[in-house]
Structure 1
Amino acid sequence: MSKKRFVLIAVITFLVASALLTPHALRVMRQPRTDADYLRLFREVVTIVKKSYVTDVDNKKLMQGAVNGMLTALDPHSQYLPLTDFTEMKVHMAGAFGGVGIELGMENGKLTVNAPIEDTPAFRAGIQAGDHIYRIDGKLTKGMNINDAVSRMRGTPGTAVTLGIERAGSAPLSFRLVRAIIKTKSLKGRLLEPGIGYVTIAEFQERTGEDFDKALKTLAADNGGPLSGLILDLRYNPGGLVDQAFRVADRFIGDNPTDEGVIVTTKGREPSSTRSLTAYVGQKEPNYPMVVLINGGSASAAEIVAGALQDHKRAVIMGTQSFGKGSVQSIIQLPNGDGLKLTTARYYTPSGRSIQARGITPDIIVDRIKKPAKTAKTGKPEDKEDEIHEKDLEGHISGGDDAVTPPTKKPASAPALKKSPDEKMVELLKSDNQVMRAVDLLKGLNYMKSTYPLPAKAPKTVTAKTTKQ
């Protein structure tokens, strides 16, 4: 057989075989993989990694990374919480713990005091912002992470912990602090002007609803009578506990007998995740004018409050577009004590608007103006703050319907307001253009109400129908 003839027969054989086998191969490729196939794939990959990875692999690290990777592939908010993180989350939302009252940070690899919390053992002992904690109960903090440091300083109230402190311009100091119950405050309230109250809520924690009720009563008492207007500041509020957001909104919704008083609705795949939270019947705040401030840092529970007050026409929403986190995360404790934060539903405002990846659009858009730097000599106008939203996050879930969100630019995240001493807070707020726009609006609404009162509605007359005989 000649060489050319052999090659020709081989080519023909290959083409015939390809023609016969290709449909079968395509059918195999198109056939969906079963759960068993994917579990087998996972086991195969784990086996290869444990056998061939450059170093020995810790099983716990490998499995926890696999679980967390699975959850983060779903959306940006589903998360696996190891026991320490799960415990810390519960303590944070409770807003109370046994400790010394220090907000910690890391600066140049050193454990640093960001600020002592007022009226706590650390504050009364004289620990200052910027102090470097180099020892905790004799153990050096070099290489210690914040979580480890926090766990060492927290403990049973009445027990003691000794901190070694390095402070600029001073010899090393030692503080023996007796732990106490530390209560973090999620809100602050004050009068900006006679009759005009201001309450800012940093986050919705377990006592936020109760503290909000107390703050409103304190403002009325300080004012010597009912308020003539209220500013509720939800800027940079990342959310928190929905039941506490409900309590805040409930103070202003549901006083109209014809109003169903829906505050928020959740909808999910399981029947138990679809429900509506409705305002309670009872005493409410007086019907004074109200402004709610929001921005790109207002998310989740903060958006629930803003959306409810907006839909019920109880408040004017002012500021910039909110973040758009309208998804419900259910917290599930696993048998081993770890936690699972899983997205199970979406939030909807009383009128049925989805918050997810859209947010709340203010009734009056007011950009916050940042003060120019002292060294700036450009003469350009003051800069606006940039914001980032839920729809900018990679892997975010959709809003649950076909509504189109107007495109916006993708900005950098905006810095949070720095806390100031209480005695300087009013002056700081009066330099905030959004707050002062809200004050002006409340004054204008009260002026219109007192100067141009709406005419009383005439009672409806009922005419009896007659039938011709």
Structure 2
Amino acid sequence: MIQKSKKVITAGLLATLVGSYFMGVFAHAEITPKQSSAKEKLEAYLKFTQILNVIETQYVDEVNTTELVDKALKGLLNNLDAHSTFMDTKAYKDLSVQTKGEFGGLGVSIGMKDGALTVIAPINGTPADKAGLKAGDIILKIDDKATIGMDIDESVKLMRGKPGSDVTLTIIRQKETKPLEIKITRDIIKIQSVYVKSIDNNLLYLHIASFDQKVVDDVQKAIKEHNNTKGILLDLRNNPGGLLDQAVGLVDLFVDNGIIVSQKGRSSIENIEYKATKQDSDAKTPIVVLVNGGSASASEIVSGALQDFKRAIIVGEKTFGKGSVQVVMPVGMDEAVKLTVARYYLPSGRTIQAEGVTPDITVHLGKIEYIEDPMLLKEKELKKHLTNELEKINNGNNKNNKKVLTKSKENNETKADDSIITDTQLYEDAQLKSAVDILKALIITNKGK
């Protein structure tokens, strides 16, 4: 029996190699079918029962009726749209684990795009990310098994395995002339949803890898710890989505009034508006949001809402375009149906389904080459130039040192400070460098208000 009372609303749950998966294709209904009459419904049910009976009694091999019905349900739901699915016992259990931020697998969001098994986004810090998988990679083979004609379930099973064991993915990558083989060691995935760093001591960098149940709390904690922050940079690149309430809660931290997102479905029960509250809202600190083609679902709610409220500048590349809402409804004790029940709409009333969020400023991923003009004389090169205070303190060390170094109390060794983004790192990431420059400009602009 389906228990609607236990439904859990999600906005494109994190796509991983365990449990539920995020499928990067869209279903477009050309013609809205008319509702079936009572007679037509009865005839359809009878047809299904008759065919099932024929298979049970006449198929060449003996079949398990329960497995047969489960496969039929999966096919039924998968044909509705790209996100609806029937979840067996293992899939349902994995879903419950992954939204808590810890699960087994490779740590990658995958989907079917144009009939090919495609990487939506590797999750930061996971085996897939460390091995070098990138958004847009097409998976040709899993070990020695070709993925042509393979469904998502089968591919997920092949990529799962015992932590510590290896799997080799053969991929096609844009601009590469031949397929690449990437070896990945499976592991237990513990997702750190929010990565916190500082830039120039007064900019707070928050990289949100996924929207699990800890995001809002972690962001609030980071903001309180960095109370001298003059600007915030939200990095949502390659964030495949997660829990809707966390996306709404994140926007609510920076907006004090208005509808953050609304959802509309066939049933009036699904017509819901999520509104901002004034409590603990920071409506003034300048914000820049980084997005790309791997930013999907909950990430698009956050970036699109902040854009509509004119609360942030969106920088990067157009987002994925997943604008539907799924409800997970338990079937009995250990199975469930994940069903698309509504589309969501941003504050301006626009939908991002199959459209995505277009950045205010488009910047493509790349590296910035910084070369000083050798023909230009600098003040410090002049004979008897005035020595500045920093030169005195550092005894001639380069004040533009690219690495920020600290002394370890235990062994007095010098090491790089991982909590700070350096100039070198900025120049390695054109999108990040552009976002930082824009944020600094916003801070200057705000001073004049």
* TM category, shorter: 0.5 to 0.7
- The 1:35–1:425 alpha-carbon spacing in structure 2 relative to 1, beyond 3 Å, is farther
SS in 2 for 1:352: coil
Q: Equivalent of 2:349, from 333, 348, 352?
A: 352
Answering whether residue 270 of structure 2 is matched by residue 273 of structure 1, we say yes
Q: In the alignment, residue 290 of structure 1 is paired with which amino acid?
A: I
CA contact (8 A) 2:325 2:342 kept: yes
Aligned to 1:155: none
Q: Equivalent of 1:56, from 62, 79, 82?
A: 62
Counterpart CA distance in 1 for 2:274 and 2:438 is 30
- The 1:428–1:60 alpha-carbon spacing in structure 2 relative to 1, beyond 3 Å, is farther
Q: In the alignment, residue 277 of structure 2 is paired with which amino acid?
A: Y
Aligned to 1:311: 308
Counterpart CA distance in 2 for 1:422 and 1:88 is 32
Within 5 Å, give how 1:129-140 maps onto structure 2. none
Counterpart CA distance in 2 for 1:38 and 1:267 is 29
Aligned to 1:109: none
SS in 1 for 2:55: helix
Q: Equivalent of 2:443, from 442, 446, 456?
A: 446
More helix by share: 1
Q: In the alignment, residue 212 of structure 1 is paired with which amino acid?
A: V
1:139-173 Cα distance to aligned partner (Å, 9 max, x none): xxxxx9676747xxxxxxxxxxxx999xxxxxxxx
Aligned to 1:235: 237
Within 5 Å, give how 1:366-385 maps onto structure 2. 366-369=363-366
Counterpart CA distance in 2 for 1:184 and 1:332 is 25
What is the deviation of 1:219?
A: 3.0
Within 5 Å, give how 1:84-163 maps onto structure 2. 84-96=90-102, 115=127, 149=162
Q: In the alignment, residue 236 of structure 1 is paired with which amino acid?
A: N
Aligned to 1:214: 221
Counterpart CA distance in 1 for 2:445 and 2:306 is 21
What is the deviation of 1:183?
A: 5.8
What is the deviation of 1:438?
A: 0.5
What is the deviation of 1:290?
A: 1.0
Answering whether residue 319 of structure 2 is matched by residue 322 of structure 1, we say yes
Q: In the alignment, residue 263 of structure 1 is paired with which amino acid?
A: I
CA contact (8 A) 1:104 1:146 kept: no
CA contact (8 A) 2:260 2:347 kept: yes
The TM-score normalised by the length of structure 2 is: 0.60
- The 1:191–1:423 alpha-carbon spacing in structure 2 relative to 1, beyond 3 Å, is closer
Counterpart CA distance in 2 for 1:291 and 1:365 is 13
Within 5 Å, give how 1:313-462 maps onto structure 2. 313-369=310-366, 422=418, 426=422, 427-450=424-447, 453-454=448-449
Question: Alignment length, in residue pairs?
Answer: 301
1:92-124 Cα distance to aligned partner (Å, 9 max, x none): 101257xxx99689xxxxxxx97599xxxxxxx
What is the deviation of 1:441?
A: 0.9
CA contact (8 A) 2:197 2:420 kept: no
- The 1:71–1:207 alpha-carbon spacing in structure 2 relative to 1, beyond 3 Å, is same
- The 1:198–1:114 alpha-carbon spacing in structure 2 relative to 1, beyond 3 Å, is closer
CA contact (8 A) 1:102 1:116 kept: no
Aligned to 1:27: none
Counterpart CA distance in 1 for 2:271 and 2:105 is 41
SS in 2 for 1:94: coil
Aligned to 1:78: 84
What is the deviation of 1:371?
A: 9.6
SS in 2 for 1:266: strand
What is the deviation of 1:74?
A: 0.5
Please, which runs of 5 or more residues in structure 2 have no aligned partner?
A: 1-35, 109-124, 130-156, 167-187, 370-416
1:297-321 Cα distance to aligned partner (Å, 9 max, x none): 1111111111111111100011111
Counterpart CA distance in 1 for 2:303 and 2:68 is 42
What is the deviation of 1:250?
A: 0.7
Higher relative contact order (CA 8 A, sep 6+): 2
Counterpart CA distance in 2 for 1:203 and 1:145 is 24
- The 1:164–1:291 alpha-carbon spacing in structure 2 relative to 1, beyond 3 Å, is closer
What is the deviation of 1:349?
A: 0.5
- The 1:336–1:444 alpha-carbon spacing in structure 2 relative to 1, beyond 3 Å, is closer
- The 1:84–1:253 alpha-carbon spacing in structure 2 relative to 1, beyond 3 Å, is same
1:328-362 Cα distance to aligned partner (Å, 9 max, x none): 00010111420111000111001111121111111
CA contact (8 A) 2:367 2:430 kept: no
Q: In the alignment, residue 197 of structure 2 is paired with which amino acid?
A: R
Higher gyration radius (CA): 1
- The 1:286–1:219 alpha-carbon spacing in structure 2 relative to 1, beyond 3 Å, is farther
Aligned to 1:302: 299
